[in-house]
Amino acid sequence: MKITFVQAVMLILRRDLIFDIRNRQRLWIIFLFAILNTFVFSFALELQHILRREVVVGVFWTTILFASLLGFERQGSEGSRQRMSQAIKLAPLPRLAIFYGQLLANWLITLCLLLFTVLLQSGLFNARLWHMDFWLASLLGSLGLVTIGTTLTTMFSHISVRVGVMSVLLIPLILPILLTCVRFTLATQSELPVRNEWVALLVLQDIILLILTSWLYPHLIDE
Amino acid sequence: MIRQILGKGRRAPLSVASENDGLQEDVGRTQPSATDALPLIRLQQLTKRFGWIPALQDVSCELHGGQIVAILGANGSGKSTLLKLCAGLLRPSEGNIQVAGWQLPKEAAQVRAHIGYAGHEIFLDESFTIQENLSFFAHCYGSAGKLRVDHSLGRLGLAKFAELAVRQLSRGRQQLVDIARATLHGPELLLLDEPLNHLDVVAEDVVVQMMKDARDSGSLILWVTHESSRVAAIADRVLLLHAGRLVVDEAGQVAETDWPATLKATLCQEMMNRSA
Q: B37-47: buried (b, 16+ CB within 10 Å) or exposed (e) per residue?
A: bbbbbbbeebb
Pairs across A and B, CB distance < 8 A: 68
Residue A103: what pLDDT? 94
CA B248, CA A206: separation in Å to the nearest integer? 55
Residue A111: what pLDDT? 94
The values of phi and psi at residue B218, to 5°, are 105, 0
Q: Work out the mean pLDDT of chain B and round it to a whole number.
A: 77
Residue A106: what pLDDT? 93
Residue A52: what pLDDT? 67
Please state whether the peptide bond connecting residue A92 to the residue before it is cis, i.e. omega within 30 degrees of 0. Answer: no
pLDDT tens digits, one per residue of B178-234: 999 999 888 999 999 999 888 888 888 899 999 999 999 989 999 998 877 777 778
- DSSP letter for each residue of A173-191: HHHHHHHHHHHHHHHHHSS
Q: Please give the single-letter amino acid code of residue A104.
A: L
Comparing alpha-carbon positions, the chain A residue that sits nearest to B143 is A1
Query: Looking at residue A93, what DSSP letter applies?
Result: -
Q: Is the pLDDT of residue B17 over 50?
A: no
Contact B142, A90 (CB under 8 A): no
Query: Looking at residue B113, what DSSP letter applies?
Result: G
Residue B9: what pLDDT? 37
Enumerate the H helices of chain B as residue ranges.
Answer: 79-87, 108-111, 130-140, 146-155, 171-183, 201-216, 228-234, 261-275
pLDDT grade, residue B272 (50/70/90)? low
CB contact B87 to A (< 8 Å):
yes
Residue A81: what pLDDT? 76
Higher pLDDT, B215 or B266: B215
Mean predicted confidence (pLDDT) in B75-85:
89
CA A62, CA A6: separation in Å to the nearest integer? 34
Q: Which of A85-99, A121-135, B32-46, B259-273 has the lowest mean pLDDT?
A: B259-273
What's the residue count for chain B?
Answer: 276
Q: Side-chain half-sphere of B142: how many Cα atoms within 13 Å?
A: 16
Residue B261: what pLDDT? 57
Residue B266: what pLDDT? 59
CA B178, CA B184: separation in Å to the nearest integer? 10
Element (H, E) at A17: helix A5-23
pLDDT grade, residue B103 (50/70/90)? confident
CA A31, CA A149: separation in Å to the nearest integer? 17
CB contact B95 to A (< 8 Å):
no
pLDDT tens digits, one per residue of A165-177: 777 888 888 899 9
C-alpha distances out from residue B255 to A176, A185, B45, B247, B252, Å: 59, 70, 14, 5, 9
Q: Please give the single-letter amino acid code of residue B121.
A: E
Q: What is the mean pLDDT of each run of 10 residues along chain A (223 residues)?
A: 86 92 88 91 72 79 91 78 83 91 94 92 76 86 93 76 72 89 81 75 92 89 71
pLDDT tens digits, one per residue of B109-128: 888 888 999 988 888 888 89
Q: Please give the single-letter amino acid code of residue A219.
A: H
SS3 category, B193: strand
CA A73, CA B176: separation in Å to the nearest integer? 31
pLDDT grade, residue B250 (50/70/90)? low
CB contact B126 to A (< 8 Å):
yes
Q: Which of A8-22, A139-153, B19-33, B38-52 has the lowest mean pLDDT?
A: B19-33
Residue B28: what pLDDT? 37
B141: chain A residues, CB-CB within 8 Å: 91-92
Cα torsion angle, B140, B141, B144, B145, sign: negative
Residue A86: what pLDDT? 83
Contact A11, B136 (CB under 8 A): yes
Q: Is the pLDDT of residue B22 over 60?
A: no
Q: Is the pLDDT of residue B7 over 80?
A: no
Cα torsion angle, B212, B218, B223, B228, sign: positive
pLDDT grade, residue B31 (50/70/90)? very low
CB contact B130 to A (< 8 Å):
no
Q: A83-92: buried (b, 16+ CB within 10 Å) or exposed (e) per residue?
A: bbbbbbbbbb
Mutate to test the interface with B, among A90, A93, A98, A157 (most CBs of B within 10 A): A90
Residue A64: what pLDDT? 93
Residue A207: what pLDDT? 94
Q: Side-chain half-sphere of B157: how many Cα atoms within 13 Å?
A: 15
pLDDT tens digits, one per residue of B133-173: 999 998 888 766 677 788 888 888 888 888 888 889 899 89
Higher pLDDT, B247 or B37: B247
Residue A203: what pLDDT? 92
Q: What is the pTM of this model?
A: 0.81
Q: Please give the single-letter amino acid code of residue B253.
A: Q
Q: Could you tell me which residues of chain A have a Cβ less than 8 Å from any Cβ in chain B?
A: 1-3, 7-8, 11, 15, 18-19, 22-23, 80-81, 83-84, 86-93, 222-223
CA A135, CA A118: separation in Å to the nearest integer? 10
Cα torsion angle, B158, B164, B166, B170, sign: negative
Nearest to A19 among B117, B122, B125 (CB): B125
Residue A223: what pLDDT? 61
CA A158, CA A146: separation in Å to the nearest integer? 19
The values of phi and psi at residue B107, to 5°, are -110, 30
- Residue B86: alpha-carbon gap to chain centroid: 9
Enumerate the H helices of A24-131 as residue ranges.
Answer: 25-44, 49-77, 79-90, 95-125
Nearest to B89 among A22, A84, A89 (CB): A89
The values of phi and psi at residue B250, to 5°, are 60, -95
Nearby residues of B108 by Cβ (< 8 Å), 6 or more positions away: A222, B88, B102
Q: Which of A23-32, A53-62, B241-250, B258-267 has the lowest mean pLDDT?
A: B258-267
Q: Is the pLDDT of residue B260 over 80?
A: no
